[in-house]
Structure 1
Amino acid sequence: MIFIENEGVTNPHLNLALEEYIVRNFSFDHDYLLFYINEPSIIIGRNQNTLEEINHEYVEEHNIKVVRRVSGGGAVYHDFGNLNFSFITDHDIKSLNNFKKVTAPVVKVLNSMGVPAEMKGRNDVVANDKKISGNAQFSTGKRMVSHGTLLLDSDLSEVANSLQVKMSKIESKGHKSVRSRVANISEFMEEKIDIETFRSKILNGLYEERDDFETYRLTDEEWEGVHKLKEEKYDTWEWNYGSSPKFNIQRERRFPAGTLDLRLFVEKGHIQNFKVFGDFFGREPVEKLEELFIGARYEKSDIEDILKNVDIETYFGAIPKEDFINLVYGADEEE
Structure 2
Amino acid sequence: MKHLVSPAIIRPCSSRFAASFSCHPVLTSRSLSTTLSRKEQKAAQPQTPATESIELGAPVTYISESHDPWFNLSYEDWLLRNTPHNQPVLFLYRNFPCVVIGRNQNPWKETTPHKLRESGIPLVRRRSGGGTVFHDMGNTNFSIILPRLLFTRSHGAELVSRAIRERLGIKDCTVNERNDVIIRKGENEYKMTYKIIQHRAYHHGTMLISSSLSELGKSLKSSSPNMETKSILSHRSPVTTLNHHLPPSSSPSSSSSSSSNKHIHHDDFVQAVTSEFAKTYSNTVEKKMETKEVNENWIKDPKVWKGVEELKSWEWQYGQTPEFTNSLEGELSFGSLSASLSARHALLTSLTLHLTPTLHEATEITTTKQSFLDSLALSLVGHRYESLDGAQGALGHEWEDEKWREMGNEVINWLRKVM
Partner of 1:125: 181
Alignment pair present for 1:5 and 2:5: no
Residue number in structure 2 paired with 1:291: none
Q: Deviations over 1:250-282 (max 9, x none)?
A: 9xxxxxxxxxxxx899xxxxxxx9xxxxxxxxx
Correspondence 1:28-43 to 2 at 5 A? 28-43=85-100
| Counterpart for residue 335 of structure 2 | none
Q: Which residue number in structure 1 is paired with residue 290 of structure 2? A: 214
State whether residues 107 and 113 of structure 2, in contact with CA within 8 Å, keep that contact through their aligned partners in structure 1: no
1:149 is matched with 206
Equivalents in 2 of 1:248, 1:137: separation in Å? 27
What is the distance in 1 between the residues matched to 2:165 and 2:177?
18
User: Normalized against structure 1, the TM-score is what?
Assistant: 0.63
Counterpart of 2:290, as a letter, is E
Q: Which runs of 5+ in 2 are unaligned?
A: 1-58, 227-235, 252-262, 328-341, 350-419
Decide which moves more: 214-223 or 78-87.
214-223
Give, in angstroms, the shift of residue 74 of structure 1.
1.1
User: Does the CA-based 8 Å contact 1:58-1:161 persist in structure 2?
Assistant: no
Q: Which residue of 2 aligns with 1:84?
A: 141
Given the alignment, which residue of 145, 152, 156 partners 1:102?
156
Matching of residues 1-335 of structure 1 within 5 Å:
1-6=59-64, 8-92=65-149, 95-96=151-152, 98=153, 100-112=154-166, 113-115=168-170, 116-128=172-184, 129-139=189-199, 143-164=200-221, 181-190=238-247, 191=251, 192-211=263-282, 212=287, 213-216=289-292, 220=298, 222-231=300-309, 233-242=310-319
Per-residue deviation at 1:123? 3.7
Is the 1:118–1:126 contact (alpha carbons within 8 Å) kept by the matching residues of 2? yes
Change (3 A) 1:33 1:61: same
Deviation at 1:245, TM superposition (A): 6.5
Offset, 1:4:
1.6
CA distance in 1, matches of 2:207, 2:320: 31
In 1: Cα distance, 2:135 partner to 2:219 partner: 11
Distance 2:299 2:326 in 1: 48
For the 8 Å contact 1:72–1:136, the answer to whether it is kept is no
Displacement of 1:95 after TM fit? 2.9
Residues in 2 aligned to 1:118 and 1:101: alpha-carbon distance in whole angstroms:
12
Question: Contact 1:17 / 1:226 at 8 angstroms: preserved in 2?
Answer: yes
Q: Which amino acid aligns with 1:238?
A: E
- Runs of 5+ unmatched residues, structure 1: 169-177, 251-262, 266-272, 274-335
CA distance in 1, matches of 2:86, 2:323: 45
Amino acid at match of 2:178: R
TM-score (normalizing by structure 2): 0.51
Equivalent residue pairs, number: 237
Q: Distance in 1 between matches of 2:135 and 2:313?
A: 19
Whole-angstrom distance in 2 between the partners of 1:46 and 1:246: 14
Distance 1:247 1:225 in 2: 32
In 1: Cα distance, 2:161 partner to 2:269 partner: 14
Query: Who is 1:306 aligned against?
Result: none
Of structures 1 and 2, the larger Rg is shown by: 2
CA contact (8 A) 1:114 1:188 kept: no
1:247 shift after superposition = 6.0
1:301-329 residue CA offsets vs partner (Å, 9 max, x unmatched)? xxxxxxxxxxxxxxxxxxxxxxxxxxxxx
Cα deviation, 1:104-163, whole Å, max 9, x if unaligned, reads 111111111222111113242110110024113132xxx321110111111111122011
2: CA distance, partners of 1:167 / 1:114: 41
* Larger strand fraction of residues: 1
**Compared with structure 1, are the counterparts of its residues 56 and 155 closer, same or farther at alpha carbon in structure 2 (3 Å cutoff)?**
same
Alpha-carbon spacing, 1:57–1:167, altered in 2? closer, same or farther (3 Å): closer
